Structure 1
Amino acid sequence: MRQVLLIIDVQPSFNPPQWLVDGITSLIGRMPSVASVERHDESVTPFQRQLGWQPAAHDQSLVAADRIFIKHGYAPTAEMLDYLRQLNPERVLVCGIQTDTCVLAAGFALFDAGLQPTLISDLTVGSSLDRSGQLGVSLWRHHFGHVVSTQQLR
């Protein structure tokens, strides 16, 4: 099966647990990989004004993906989606930070782009609302249906 790994916002600003970084790193090299890094630019996305918080302006990915895209806000960029479509995967395996926000936003963007988003449920961490990520996993299953674990990828 042609698969691509999409890693959402595994960067210092979001303080990912080491098990998440290690688990994602163990998949690097097994398939093409793409990562997003969310950076702050108040003129693009009003994090500070609306939420009183913002990611760092110069964060880097903690996972060495084949390709890294910078984004401002929750959703993947048009350039990232174009790149993923060019790879022509049968499914896009999604993992990373904030299952119920940025990861879910990626799922909607992938779905709307005609790709098959598939969540790796044990390689995701939720937002401060639900750090377990279970809310996001439930929403993902409801909207997209496709959820796997790392055991199923072996």
Structure 2
Amino acid sequence: MRQVLLIIDVQPSFNPPEWLVSGINALLGQLPSVATVERHDESQTPFARQLGWQPAADDHSLVAADRIFIKHGYAPTPETIAYLRSLAPERVLICGIQTDTCVLAAGFALFDAGLQPTLITDLTVGSSLDRSGQLGVRLWQHHFKHLTTSAELTLL
């Protein structure tokens, strides 16, 4: 099965747990990988004005994906989606930070682009609303259906 790994916002601003970074690193090199990094630019996304918080303007990925795309806001950029589509995957495996916000936004963008988003449930962390990520997993299953785990991926 042609798959690609999309890693959402695993960067210093979001203080990812070490188990998340090491779990994602274990998948790198097994399939094409793409990571997003959310950077702050108030002229593009009003994080400071509306939320009183923002990611760093110069943040970087904590995982060495094959390609890294910078974004401002919740969703992946059109360039990220175009690149993923160019790989023609049967499914896009998604992991990372904020299951119920940025990861979910990536799922909607992929779905709208005609791709099959599949959440790696044990390689995701929720937002401050639900750090366990379970709210995001339930929303994902409701909207996109497809879930997997890192253990299931190692069996393929």
- Fold conserved (TM > 0.5)? yes
Give the Cα–Cα distance (whole angstroms) in 1 for the partners of residues 44 and 151 of structure 2: 39
Return the offset for 1:108. 0.2
Query: Structure 2: which 5+ runs fail to align?
Result: none
Q: How many residues align?
A: 154
Aligned residue number for residue 112 of structure 2: 112
Question: 2-side partners of 1:150 and 1:94: how far apart?
Answer: 11
Distance apart, 1:116 and its partner CA: 0.2
Structure 1: segments with no counterpart, 5+ residues: none
Give TM-score, length-normalised by structure 2.
Answer: 0.98
Aligned to 1:66: 66
Q: Residue 6 of structure 2 aligns with which residue?
A: 6
Name the counterpart of 1:84: 84
Aligned equivalents of 1:34 and 1:151: distance in 2?
20
Query: One-letter code of the match for 1:67?
Result: R
Structure 1, residues 62-108: CA drift from partner, whole Å, max 9, x if none? 00000000000000000000000000000000000000000000000
- How far residue 5 of structure 1 moved from its aligned partner, in angstroms, is 0.2
**Superposition deviation, residue 22 in structure 1:** 0.1
Q: Does 1:146 align with 2:146?
A: yes
Q: How far apart are the structure 2 equivalents of 1:100 and 1:112?
A: 18
Note the C-alpha offset of 1:117. 0.1
Q: Matches of 1:86 and 1:109 in 2, distance apart? A: 15
Q: Secondary structure at the match of 1:26?
A: helix
* Identical positions, percent: 81
2:40 aligned with 1:40 = yes
Shift of 1:151: 1.1
Secondary structure of 1:53 counterpart: coil
Runs of 4+ in 1 over 2 A off after TM superposition: none
- TM-score normalised by structure 1 residue count: 1.00
- Measure, in 2, the Cα distance between the counterparts of 1:103 and 1:31: 19
Other structure's SS at 1:110 match: helix
Query: 5 Å matches for 1:126-141?
Result: 126-141=126-141
SS in 1 for 2:27: coil
Q: Which residue of 1 aligns with 2:99?
A: 99
Residue identity opposite 1:86 in structure 2: S
Q: What's the secondary structure of 1:153's corresponding residue?
A: helix
